[in-house]
Amino acid sequence: MRLTRVRVTNYRSIEDSGWVDIDDVTCLVGKNEAGKTAFLQALHKLNPLLGSAMFDETMDYPSRHYARYKRTRDASPAPVVIAELELGDDEMRAIAAEFGEGFLGSKRVTATKRYGSEARTWDHEINEAKGIEHLVSSIEATAPIKKRLLATTTADELASAIDALDEPHSTAVAVADKIRGWRGEDFGAALRDGYLRPWLPKFFYFDDYSIMPGRASIPDLITRRDQETLQESDETLLRLLDLVGAKLEDFSDQGNFEALTRELEAAANGISSEVFQYWKQNPDLEIVAVMSAAEEGAQPPLDVGPVLNIRIRNPRHKVTVPFDERSKGFVWFFSFFAYFSELESGSGENVILLLDEPGLSLHATAQRDFLDFIDGRLAQSHQVIYTTHSPFMIQAGRLDRVRTVEDVDDDGTKVNADVLRTDADTVFPLQAALGYDLAQTLFVGPDCLLVEGPSDLLYLQILTEALVGDGREGLDERWVVTPAGGASNLITFVSLLGANQLNLAVLMDSSQAEQQRVRNLLSTGKLKARSIVQISDVVGNDDADIEDIFEAGFYLELVNGAYSAELSAPIKVADIREGNPRVVVRVGEYFQSNDVGTGRFNHYRPAAYLLANQAKLAPKINAATLDRAGALAEKLNKLLG
């Protein structure tokens, strides 16, 4: 059973997250206090691997609505998690074998968890007639009797009909007994109890509080375990013991010290060897497990022995230090591995991993290592949902995995896959991830074309495809088109790339203000005058942006599509006819005067809309636009060596 999408409602900062699609790996990105952790914690309680499955309505229900909710909670407990899951082919075959082909109408089922109960309610499509047909097919009886049994509509009716038979065959009695073994003598209950509930994935939540301690008093752990007051960090340590089949009581026997120490060291070495496949920061470290008596004067609870000590040895410096005094990044990495290794060696349950800010204390390259671990190890057998606000925990080539988390005024936390509708602070890690990824690819070719922003890149790509489709020359594929993140960054990029002896060209917007930037670029000595191409060279106006290559009517179609939710009516050419020759400036003035999109016009959104709807919109690009685009491509291609 695989989680496909989920919706969280009525939980802390989340009034209604909206439906959130879940992939094999899903990354939640957002600012601090946006609600990322709340989303994971709510999902965890749907079916936790460890811990309580109960929601605490006093603590968890959104406080500003709690007084009103108290009046209805008993009659109508509020839903918190609604999870849509998809059954696998083997699971569908097992259900068909039990209840008949076609009994379950869809692979999709929904589990809902509410306040006030650990139980879940289920929504599914079943065909009881198919179930009855399947049960009756196993009964030995005459055709008239089978016809009478097939006329029943529910499982309990079928059982009653069998009871009413004169001297029913043993196969009929077996069917009736089977039905009476179901809760409520109901097909749905039999499906849920026998299949859906056992197959529902468990959720394992791991955060910084789960980091394993470096020292622990065995008697103290036994006491708190029996009192059910263990902390998450203690649970991680116990998982390491579980990995070698050790119980806390085993350490009470002094004769077991040596054997247990060796087993723990073996387990630690085994985990370490796997850790260092992904931990590239310092592969020379070793984990050492040592049993000791309590030290005189030690602070409680370490004043009572025996004490289990986990230490880290650095052969380079020939010294060992307590586990929790080592680099926090490595401590987190090893703790997670210890827990995950025991999880893998367990019963083989279907477990979804919920990782809250994984590797927050890791160096940037170590975070990239952990991303490799997620893809190369975790996601091979588990779905993974993790939160982050680090650009290094985002794969620029897999932004389809990213869901943005934003705390919206008066609406609470929203989770969205549409980054175009999210505030700049929320998507900053995405922008930074793209920038980092871009920086790694700046030197892949000898010919680099710098443009001001990502919308320029999209327009050049789409116009080139349109030109080629029309039998014309597009932008040569040898150009590595690189957005600089704004005109103000161009001189920095030229200085950086020019030092690498690349063939550089710059495509710039045209205005009086840009002329000083042109002079600044030429002053670097790394560009020739002809290597700076301005849009005015092909548009015909002294002031022009790349958007002015398009006809105004076509560009407004992109704007209207991108801002359809914010516009009360589509913008017409007549609405922006007067003023600056640059169409983006006129649209921006319209947004400001009509308070569209809080008065701010984002140049990227129309470009993204064109990309998303390219099949429908590209054929509308007219010949005059292609003439201007072709002239630009020809001018740029002449700069190639």
Is residue 367 domain-resident? no
What pLDDT score does 541 carry? 84
Is residue 353 domain-resident? no
Are 490 and 568 within one domain? no
Largest CA distance in the chain: 105
Are 234 and 280 within one domain? yes
Give the pair of three-digit tokens for residue 160: 């009653």
Is residue 607 domain-resident? yes
- Strand pairing report for 79-86 and 412-416: unpaired
CA distance linking residue 622 with residue 566, whole number of Å:
28
Angle between helices 604-612 and 454-469 (to 10 degrees): 40
Q: Are 236 and 215 in contact (CB under 8 A)?
A: no
Are 76 and 37 within one domain? yes
> DSSP string of 138-205?
TS---HHHHHHHHT--SHHHHHHHHHTSSS--HHHHHHHHHHHTSGGG-HHHHHIIIIIHHHSPEEEE
What pLDDT score does 384 carry? 95
Burial of 91 (0-12, 13-18, 19+ CB in 10 A): middle
Q: Are 218 and 307 in contact (CB under 8 A)?
A: yes
Q: Are 271 and 338 in contact (CB under 8 A)?
A: yes
Are 44 and 156 within one domain? no
Is residue 89 domain-resident? yes
Collapsing DSSP to helix, strand or coil, 299 comes out as coil
Q: Are 278 and 307 in contact (CB under 8 A)?
A: no
Q: Are 482 and 451 in contact (CB under 8 A)?
A: yes
Which strands sit side by side in the sheet containing 480-483, from one edge to the other? 480-483, 447-451, 503-508, 532-534
What pLDDT score does 18 carry? 94
CA distance linking residue 36 with residue 469, whole number of Å:
45
Give the pair of three-digit tokens for residue 213: 């301690």
What pLDDT score does 560 carry? 93
Burial of 210 (0-12, 13-18, 19+ CB in 10 A): buried
For 532-598, give the secondary structure using H, E and C: EEECHHHHCCCCECHHHHCCHHHHHHHHHHHCCCCCCCCCCHHHHCCCCCCHHHHHHHHHHHHCHHH
| Helix runs in 310-404, H state only | 328-344, 364-376
**What does residue 574 show for φ and ψ, rounded to 5 degrees?**
-65, -25
CA distance linking residue 470 with residue 139, whole number of Å:
70
Are 173 and 214 within one domain? no
Is residue 492 domain-resident? yes
Are 518 and 565 within one domain? no
What pLDDT score does 135 carry? 96
Report pLDDT digits (tens) over 197-220: 999 999 999 887 778 888 889 899
**Residue 571 belongs to what domain range?**
551-620
Domain boundary among 329, 364, 379: 329
Are 115 and 142 within one domain? no
Q: Are 322 and 299 in contact (CB under 8 A)?
A: no
Are 528 and 558 within one domain? no
How many structural domains compose the chain? 5
Question: Could you say which residues of the chain have pLDDT below 50?
Answer: 443, 499
What pLDDT score does 393 carry? 85
**Through-space distance between the first and last CA atoms of the chain, rounded to whole angstroms:** 56
The structure tokens 């949902």 sit at 385
Are 325 and 265 within one domain? yes
What pLDDT score does 42 carry? 96
Are 96 and 168 within one domain? no
Is residue 398 domain-resident? no
Are 289 and 310 within one domain? yes
Is residue 276 domain-resident? yes
Q: Could you tell me the CATH number of the domain that includes residue 490?
A: 3.40.50
What pLDDT score does 248 carry? 81
Domain boundary among 304, 329, 354: 329
Burial of 400 (0-12, 13-18, 19+ CB in 10 A): exposed
Are 227 and 280 within one domain? yes
Is residue 161 domain-resident? yes
Domain boundary among 161, 190, 219: 190
